[in-house]
């Protein structure tokens, strides 16, 4: 099967590309390497076609969609803080880029799009565990743009008949998670700090809980979507077993320092995964302890990642506290 993976040199995309390559599918990775890394695909790059292109700009990359059966759409800007600083950049990447993918799929008669959405669309939910029917209340531009992307794809599914599945990801972690200079996902921050023997910067008092989902479980969830027959499907991808940040610190066996709690962030993320269990027969398998052990075996991946301190985090999140209340 010919499959395109946008953002396929990034964290989740590269793991899926490797998995599908091992399944003998014909894989095309489209990535502009703004956040993705060639290092992520180096072990199997000779077995795939790599296209260096920015999907937010229409161009020759679109011709690769001819004869493609499935598109996995991961390409996006995916950090909260920069989205508050530069919302236009996020709209260009996550909204315009997604419409380009949708219209190109229609043009070349691609049958199926599987979209990496975000559970951040729920904002601060009223109910835990949170189901797919929860109200959409994005708290910052990143969450908004990812949900608009989902709406675009569902609209194209309705009008043009392409089959769309949207996977609302909770807190995905694992090897190859981003190491660029942007202040972002917790595990990337913590592992760089651990390598340099610096205290882990815990937001608030650390009692907040997150639904951490290991990368191999997430890849399997996406893979199972290939054979899904239903259209207009939205699935939460999580474990339904949230873990406190303080417990993560304990498992990493590090000292920590507390920094101010940020407005607009929920005290808990907790996926109701009843639907994905029923419809896709998908069940997360990797416990948080086993997942962290796997991370620690590859901790040197974060050797060149920036080491954040309370001072540099305060500077990086200045706009967050300025605009979010």
For 173, residues 6+ apart whose C-beta sits below 8 A from its C-beta are: 185, 187, 212, 213, 214, 215, 291, 295
- What are the residue boundaries of the structural domains of the chain, listed by start? 2-172+213-237, 178-211+241-264+286-323
Res 165: pLDDT: 98
State the pairing for strand pair 26-31/171-173.
unpaired
Identify the CATH class of 178-211+241-264+286-323: alpha beta
Q: How many CB atoms lie within 10 A of CB 186?
A: 18
Q: What is the tens place of the pLDDT at every residue in 125-159?
A: 999 999 999 999 999 999 999 999 999 999 999 99
DSSP state of 95: I
Q: How do residues 160-213 score in pLDDT, each as one tens digit?
A: 999 999 999 999 999 998 766 567 789 999 999 999 999 999 999 999 999 999
Place of tokens 């907790």: 270
201, 239 Cβ separation under 8 angstroms? no
Query: What is d(CA 277, CA 244) in angstroms, rounded to the nearest whole number?
Result: 24
Tens of pLDDT, residue by residue over 227-251, are 999 999 999 999 999 999 999 999 9
As a whole-number percent, the residues of the chain with pLDDT over 70 amount to 98
Beta bridge partners of 31: 52
User: What number does CATH give the domain 2-172+213-237?
Assistant: 3.40.50.720
pLDDT at 304 > cutoff 90: no
* Residues tagged active-site: 142
Quick one: tokens of 12?
A: 């989740």
- Interior/surface letters 23-58, b for 16+ CB within 10 angstroms, e for the rest: eebbbbbbbbeebbbeebbeebbeebebbebbbbee
Contact 65, 4 (CB under 8 A): yes
DSSP 150-181: HHHHHHHHHHH--EEEEEEE-EEE-TT---SS
Average pLDDT along the chain: 95
Residue 180's pLDDT is what? 65
């Amino acid at each position: 099967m010919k499959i395109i993976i946008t953002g396929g040199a990034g964290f989740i995309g590269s793991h899926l590309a490797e998995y599908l390559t091992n399944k003998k599918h014909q894989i095309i990775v489209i990535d502009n390497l703004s956040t993705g890394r060639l290092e992520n695909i180096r072990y199997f790059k000779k077995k795939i076609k790599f296209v260096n292109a920015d999907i937010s700009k229409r161009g020759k990359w679109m011709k690769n969609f001819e004869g493609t059966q499935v598109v996995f759409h991961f390409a996006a800007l995916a950090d909260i803080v920069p989205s508050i600083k530069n919302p236009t950049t996020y709209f260009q990447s996550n909204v315009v880029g997604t419409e380009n993918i949708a219209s190109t799929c229609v043009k070349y008669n691609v049958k199926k799009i599987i979209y990496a959405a975000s559970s951040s669309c729920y904002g601060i939910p009223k109910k835990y565990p949170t189901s797919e029917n929860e109200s959409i209340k994005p708290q910052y531009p990143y969450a908004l743009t990812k949900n608009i992307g989902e709406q675009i794809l569902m609209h194209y599914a309705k009008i043009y008949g392409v089959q769309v599945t949207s996977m609302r990801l909770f807190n995905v972690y694992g090897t190859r998670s981003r190491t660029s200079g942007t202040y972002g996902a917790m595990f990337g921050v913590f592992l760089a700090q651990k390598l340099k023997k610096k205290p882990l910067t815990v937001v608030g008092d650390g009692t907040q809980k997150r639904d951490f989902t290991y990368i191999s479980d997430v890849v399997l969830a996406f893979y199972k979507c290939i054979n899904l027959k239903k259209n207009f499907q939205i699935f939460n991808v999580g474990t339904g077993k949230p873990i406190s940040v303080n417990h993560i610190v304990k498992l990493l066996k590090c000292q920590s320092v507390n920094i101010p709690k940020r407005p607009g962030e929920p005290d808990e993320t907790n996926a109701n995964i009843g639907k994905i269990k029923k419809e896709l027969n998908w069940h997360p398998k990797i416990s948080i302890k086993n997942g962290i052990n796997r991370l620690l075996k590859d901790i040197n991946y974060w050797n060149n990642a920036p080491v954040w301190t309370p001072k540099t985090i305060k500077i990086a999140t200045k706009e967050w506290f300025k605009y979010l209340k």
